[in-house]
A and B are shown apart, each in its own frame.
Chain A
Amino acid sequence: MATTKEISIGDVGSRAGEFETELQGDTMALNVGPSHPTTHGVLRLMMELDGDVVKKCEPVLGYLHRGDEKIAESMTYNQFVPYTDRLDYLAPLANNVAYAMAVEKLANLEVPERCQAIRVLCCELARISSHLLGVGVYGMDAGAWTVFMFTFTEREKLYTLFEELTGARFTTSYTRIGGVARDIPDGWLGRVLEFCKGVLPVLDQVDKLLTRNRIFMDRTVGIGAISKEDAIAYGMTGPNLRACGVDLDLRKDKPYLGYEKYDFDVPIGVNGDCYDRYLMRAEEIRQSVRIIRQCIDQLPEGSYYAEDAKKIFAPQKAKVLTSMEELIQNFMIVTEGPQVPAGEVYFEAENPKGALGFFVVSKGGGVPYRLKIRGPSFCNLSILDKLIPGHYLTDITVILGSLDFVMGECDR
């Protein structure tokens, strides 16, 4: 029942204090998601609003939980590769590579240089693909639809390249333990260079539309600022961490795949706000283009898989049909899986979203005993309940967009 409270207006200042709790009114509970345009997937936020200001925010996860880690225990190492596509589904190639590298580390296997270079190409193309979407969707979250369309057009070209390389546009499943599924097709490198040439002008256009746009800056500068200490304490990685001013890039600090051979810069932010996170991604695309160009320049000849790892990488089909030894080898790998010695290993790679880690425990044989995935999106999102309160409801869109998470990797 509605009640009316009489408030006589005398000494307003002192009286307002008396009735403050009643004048304040109730807060409103607002549920955002799991199906909501802001949340880019199935993130759910339970919020308490005071007017338009968020007082409390509790992220609810798990709507995309598929039990990937458990599934891994019941299949061979190679069979799990398609599941890694579905982690960060905006950069499946990078996930494939990170997973294969983890298992190879356990098997103590070094892949040939050509294979490494191909994997670097894949990783950087995936990074461009992910960041193009990140920047585009971020623009869309701020209300600039056209940016999204511009970057998505480029992504479409990238998907065509992925299709030529792997046979699939989206779920690439390109790596195998000990190599990659197939060599680079003819003329593909030229088309990659062509794409690199085309993506930079688009970035400049995005730059013109957003970077110095007064409205965009009003929306993002100082919004969702994360301090260095918080970022480290919450285990953030990737561009989100670097935007806070922490110089951590696994490609530089713990080089894998021969990243030390390439000359590239790691952009570091200053304020750790939404604006810095946007700048970070835009610059990382440019740096990735640099790496790709160098990589294509010095792409070594040789084999695209570890030829001497007979118990890990399945032999060539032509040989399987003609030679007894290869037939047995193929049969064993297909039925038993790549033979990996007992032990445990943790490997993390610098993925577009942050450090994607795989912890693999093996008791020998072709099936992992336990596989744990460290999803960078999950750790990056953990700061939400600290970050969001105090911001306006509309800011949430921008903050979520700037964190650039993928629920596939968050919920696994």
Chain B
Amino acid sequence: MDTLAILLPIAFALAMISVFMGLCSYSVLAERKVSSWIQGRVGPNRTRLPLIGHIPILGNLLTGLGIFQPAADGLKFLFKEEITPGHVNKFYYYLAPIVALAPALTTMVVLPFGRYVDPNGVVQPLVLANIEIGMLFILGISSLGVYGIVLAGWSSNSKYPFLGAIRSSAQMISYELAMGLAILPVFMWSAAPGSEHGMSLFGVIEAQETVWLALWQPLSALIFLVAVFAETNRLPFDMAESETDLVGGFHTEYGCFKFGLFFVAEYAHVIMGSALFVCLFLGGWNFLPGLANPWGDGLFGTVLSVVWFMSKVFFMIFFFIWVRWTLPRFRYDQVMSLGWKILLPLAIANLVFNTLLIALIDTINA
């Protein structure tokens, strides 16, 4: 019994990491496919696996969709010659990609992605660790991701990565403020007064059973969304890469699998950002606003809730990609002024307004 209690979470964790990494590589594929769709191109459509790819109709279909492309990409990263430029600080140079990826993978520990009904008839979240400070944990850990970029830029000992690292660290630190302030109203509304589970993501999702918070707190949702774009270094804010002036930004000096890790980390952040947005504002696995959840109590209901949650996440990933291939890029100082002069005051005003509103409602009710 004790061995099982230890082994089971490990097995779950391993399963989740593999699914998550799979998702990362397929979001790369999604990015390439969606961008080619937007731009009137075809996208990857030739990579073929020997056995599956040669099944008469299905094989061609899958090849055309580029289903095998992520495998080829990953293998390419693995088998490329490992080049370490002579002028780098080796220890931090190797450490940086790991530091970039690890926080993204760690945050998923507290991410609820489905629900089940336990034998006592209580609805429980499907999550590796249902801790009460889930959101705080995510905010704390994901902030560490910036170290990966800073270390990469600094240890590369080269000017372009250095500039990219400086820009991106300033940007990530400034947008974290707005992000944190934007989600406070969410928890103020979702948690009952004096509740001990105030910062639990499960609690937020449960609170959205009737109405999604994106509808109730559109301003918070908007600020959070913009901040997520900035935190993940996606296009309108991709100061860290900004390939037209900084060549490759912080990963200019990186090649092969080390670059692959940065690459995966970016998409891991995108997926985490999407999942967080779904949890906080799009009702998690809850069905449409105003409608009761049709998921049953059994295993089937659990699967349905996971599928519904994932489809929302996929939509958000699509949204990220869509924005990237539509908008031009901000300039670095514009990013900063947007963060400090617009988003932060807005978030504070939003917080104050909601606080007053809640206090007013409480006074009337009391």
Size class of the contact patch on chain B: 20 to 34
Among the listed stretches B63-71, B95-103, B241-249, B356-364, which one makes contact with chain A, having 4 or more residues with CB under 8 Å of it? B241-249
Among the listed stretches B14-22, B35-43, B284-292, B343-351, which one makes contact with chain A, having 4 or more residues with CB under 8 Å of it? B35-43
Are B40's CB and A153's CB within 8 A? yes
Quote the shortest CB–CB distance from A130 to chain B (angstroms): 20
Are B325's CB and A215's CB within 8 A? no
Are A143's CB and B332's CB within 8 A? no
- The SS class assigned to the A binding surface is helix
Nearest-CB residue, chain B, relative to A37? B244
Are B244's CB and A141's CB within 8 A? yes
Assembled-state Cα–Cα distance A63/B254 (Å): 27
Are B159's CB and A145's CB within 8 A? no
In the complex, chain A residues whose CB is within 8 Å of the CB of B235: 143
Quote the shortest CB–CB distance from B343 to chain A (angstroms): 15
Assembled-state Cα–Cα distance A28/B162 (Å): 12
Nearest-CB residue, chain A, relative to B236? A215
Q: Which of B320-347 contact A (CB under 8 A)?
A: 325-334
Pick from A37, A142, A396: contact of B243, CB below 8 A. Answer: A37
Map CB proximity to B onto A102-143 as digits: 1 under 8 Å, 0 otherwise.
Answer: 000000000000000000000000000000000000011111
Q: Is A168's beta carbon under 8 Å from chain B? A: no
In the complex, chain A residues whose CB is within 8 Å of the CB of B329: 142-144, 215, 219
Map CB proximity to B onto A1-38 as digits: 1 under 8 Å, 0 otherwise.
Answer: 00000000000000000000000000010100000111
Are B328's CB and A30's CB within 8 A? no
Quote the shortest CB–CB distance from A46 to chain B (angstroms): 13
Assembled-state Cα–Cα distance A274/B326 (Å): 20
Are A36's CB and B247's CB within 8 A? yes
Assembled-state Cα–Cα distance A397/B39 (Å): 22
Q: Is A382's beta carbon under 8 Å from chain B? A: no
Are B328's CB and A216's CB within 8 A? yes
Among the listed stretches A183-191, A328-336, A387-395, which one makes contact with chain B, having 4 or more residues with CB under 8 Å of it? A387-395
Are B331's CB and A394's CB within 8 A? yes
Assembled-state Cα–Cα distance A392/B242 (Å): 13
**Which A residues fall within an 8 A CB radius of B?**
28, 30, 36-38, 52, 139-146, 149-150, 153, 209-210, 213, 215-216, 218-219, 392-397
Interchain Cβ contacts under 8 Å between A and B, 8 examples: A36-B247, A37-B245, A52-B167, A139-B328, A143-B329, A144-B327, A146-B38, A215-B328
10 closest cross-chain pairs (CB), A and B: A143-B329, A149-B39, A142-B328, A144-B328, A143-B328, A397-B244, A397-B245, A216-B328, A394-B331, A215-B328
**Which B residues fall within an 8 A CB radius of A?**
35, 38-41, 159, 163, 167, 235-236, 238, 242-245, 247, 325-334
A sample of 12 more A-B contacts (CB under 8 A), given A392-B333, A396-B245, is: A52-B163, A140-B244, A143-B238, A146-B38, A213-B328, A215-B328, A218-B331, A218-B334, A219-B328, A219-B334, A392-B331, A392-B332
